[in-house]
Amino acid sequence: MADWPGVALEHISDALFVTDRAHRIVWLNRLSEKIFGITAEEGRGRPVAEVTGMTPLTPLLDDLFEQGVPPEPAFEKVEAVIKFSGRRYFFKVAVAPVVEKAGFEGALVQLTDITRFYEMEKFKGDYISIISHEFRTPLTSVVLGVEMLRQGLLGELNKRGEEVFDAIGGDCHRLTKLVDNLLELSKIESGTIYIQAEPVDAAELVREAVRPLKIQAEKKGITLVTEIPGAVPPVAADFNKTVWVLTNLIGNALRYTEAGGTITVRVRVGTWRLFFSVKDSGCGIPPEYRDQIFEKFIQVRGPAKRKGGAGLGLAIAKEIVTAHGGEIWVESEVGTGSTFTFSFPLFRREGIMG
Ligand SMILES: Nc1ncnc2c1ncn2[C@@H]1O[C@H](COP(=O)(O)OP(=O)(O)OP(=O)(O)O)[C@@H](O)[C@H]1O
Ligand SMILES: [Mg+2]
């Protein structure tokens, strides 16, 4: 009788290996033979990391065997230059336990070729980065020109003229912010920014973020308060980037809260982590959006969408917080308000603790 699953796996569009507990190859499929330039006979008995040249497979398999059967397969994106062909691949790697009736225990290693997808993503990122750069220089001179006209440096303006240039000034400001955010995001996505984590005073971070927004809050009739405990241990953070995250969360809270509302910026100390939260009494976020808004260009549909902005702030904030080894999330009730919280590891003399 034909071995249908076996035949199917031979022809699947992923490279597959089955290994024993010592990571030695027991079986491999045709695509593995083709990509890595070996026959099944040549591969059998050799460590999978050596045959593929992919060193990250070793810790992945070690973890799998150490932890027993994981609830879900472990995924990781791995770059590999194949010795045999010299080609550069990007694989999504999944490892899953193999347990047979006879008691054989091993692992299934599945390599999905995501090279094309990865290259497309990279191209998109480079494209955005180039366009943003090209926008920046002429935009700077437009901003300067508009500013000069508004101030009447090039001649008196009548009332109508002032209004027009005020509107253009506002649009220029939004466009500049959009270009800056796109550049920031493309830098993060291409891995060209690094987090310089230093011991930082959380109270100082909050003060720095709140100061420039106090006036804006007053103008809008919103109370902006801070709650910081007396003694706060230092947090391992990149000062400017963390201020950026806080500023954006408070900026959002200001944008989505009506006059008479309150925004509270709070610092709470946990055992290993420090929590920053920004609570508002604004319009709230519907449940189906609470994860999505951390993705780029996602904005809640409805009247609030018309409030300007491009939907990039939270995506950048998430990248920055994650790069610090922290997490960010939101709790919210529609009509009552939202609380955005992010955690950072505390700074310890021995290093950063998770
Ligand atoms: N405090 C808040 N209250 C209600 N909705 C919010 C709040 N913060 C964010 N949102 C929703 O999440 C969306 C995404 O926020 P994000 O900061 O990423 O983008 P944005 O503020 O719209 O634009 P940008 O930050 O690029 O200027 C917002 O458009 C809004 O719909
Ligand atoms: Mg925002």
pLDDT in tens, the chain (354 residues): 457 777 888 888 999 999 999 999 999 999 999 999 999 999 999 999 999 999 889 988 988 888 765 545 556 777 888 878 888 899 999 898 888 777 778 999 999 999 998 888 888 888 888 998 899 889 999 999 999 998 888 888 899 999 999 999 999 998 999 999 998 888 887 776 678 888 999 999 999 999 999 999 999 999 999 999 988 999 989 999 999 999 999 999 999 999 999 999 999 999 889 999 999 999 999 999 999 999 988 999 876 555 678 899 999 999 999 989 899 999 999 999 999 999 998 877 554 444
User: What is the rounded distance in angstroms from the CA atom of residue 201 to the CA atom of residue 91?
Assistant: 41
In three state form, how does the secondary structure of the chain look?
CCCHHHHHHHHCCCEEEEEECCCEEEEECHHHHHHHCCCHHHHCCCEHHHHHCCCCHHHHHHHHHHHCCCCCCEEEEEEEECCCCCCEEEEEEEEEEEECCCCCEEEEEEEEECHHHHHHHHHHHHHHHHHHHHHHHHHHHHHHHHHHHHCCCCCCCCHHHHHHHHHHHHHHHHHHHHHHHHHHHHHHHCCCCCCCCEEECHHHHHHHHHHHHHHHHHHHCCEEEEECCCCCCCEEECHHHHHHHHHHHHHHHHHCCCCCCEEEEEEEECCCEEEEEEEECCCCCCHHHCCHHHCCCCCCCCHHHHHCCCCCHHHHHHHHHHHCCCEEEEEEECCCEEEEEEEEEEEECCEECC
User: What is the rounded distance in angstroms from the CA atom of residue 114 to the CA atom of residue 3?
Assistant: 29
User: What is the rounded distance in angstroms from the CA atom of residue 281 to the CA atom of residue 41?
Assistant: 67
Q: How far is the CA of 326 from the centre of ligand 1 (A)?
A: 20
Q: How far is the CA of 252 from the centre of ligand 1 (A)?
A: 5
**Domain regions of the chain by residue span:** 4-113, 118-189, 198-352
User: What is the rounded distance in angstroms from the CA atom of residue 201 to the CA atom of residue 132?
Assistant: 34
In this predicted model, what pLDDT tens digit does every residue of 112-131 receive, in sequence order?
A: 999 998 888 888 888 888 99
Q: Which of 173, 246, 250, 252 to mutate to test ligand 1, by most ligand atoms within 8 A of the CB atom?
A: 252
Residue type, 315: A
Please state which architecture CATH assigns to domain 4-113: 2-Layer Sandwich (3.30)
Looking at the CA of 253, name the nearest ligand: 1
pTM to 2 decimals? 0.74
In this prediction, residue 50 carries a pLDDT of: 94
Looking at the CA of 298, name the nearest ligand: 1
In this predicted model, what pLDDT tens digit does every residue of 135-183 receive, in sequence order?
A: 988 999 999 999 999 888 888 889 999 999 999 999 999 899 999 999 8
Burial code (b: 16+ CB inside 10 Å, e: under 16) for 260-285 equals ebbbbbbbbbeeebbbbbbbbbbbbb
Looking at the CA of 314, name the nearest ligand: 1
In this prediction, residue 202 carries a pLDDT of: 94
Spatial contact of 33 and 21, defined as CB atoms under 8 Å apart = no
User: What is the rounded distance in angstroms from the CA atom of residue 182 to the CA atom of residue 313?
Assistant: 10
The matching CATH number, chosen from 3.40.50.300, 1.10.1040.10, 1.10.1740.10, 1.10.287.130, for 118-189 is 1.10.287.130
User: 188 CB contacts (<8 Å, ≥6 apart)?
Assistant: 316, 319, 320, 323
In this prediction, residue 353 carries a pLDDT of: 45
**Token match 């494209």: residue?**
127
Biggest CA pair distance of the chain: 93
Q: Which of 258, 299, 331 to mutate to test ligand 1, by most ligand atoms within 8 A of the CB atom?
A: 299
Q: How far is the CA of 311 from the centre of ligand 1 (A)?
A: 6
* Residues surrounding ion ligand 2 at CB below 5 Å: 252, 313
CATH classification code of 198-352: 3.30.565.10
Spatial contact of 46 and 25, defined as CB atoms under 8 Å apart = yes
